[in-house]
Amino acid sequence: MTWRTFEEAIGALKSKRYDGVGFVFCSADPFVGVDLDNCRDPKSGEITQWAQKIIDSFNDVVLLEASPSGCGVHLVTRGTCKDGINTKSVEIYGQDRFFTVTGAAL
């Protein structure tokens, strides 16, 4: 609740004080973020089979984009995930996490 609004973030970005924007998942919003690491070829855009299977399992994808490295995928959907999940290649969070947003839509 101490973070800023989208409009304020865009204003700061336009002022060139910052290099990018992000999103903080919190209990007050209806979103869950899924971070899939090392699953995308940044040159070809090809996504690995295991990651595509996870992406396809979501019905209500709000955002699907390349991660900042270009080698991963960020997916945002509606839902809840209070405690989060963190494995070697998959992270899922519904609160208390910050995602950078690249705008590189897939």
Tens digit of each residue's pLDDT (9 = 90 or more) over 17-75: 887 888 899 888 999 999 999 999 999 999 999 999 999 999 999 999 999 999 999 99
**Whole-prediction pTM:** 0.86
In contact, 27 and 34? CB cutoff 8 Å: no
From CA 106, how far away is CA 86, in angstroms rounded? 23
Q: Tell me what pLDDT residue 89 has.
A: 94
Taking the CA atoms of 18, 94, 36 and 77 in sequence, report the sign of the dihedral they define.
negative
Within 33-84, where are the H helices? 49-56
Q: What pLDDT sits at residue 1? A: 61
Q: Which residues contact 56 (CB under 8 A, 6 or more apart)?
A: none
Contact indicator for 49, 57 with CB cutoff of 8 Å: no
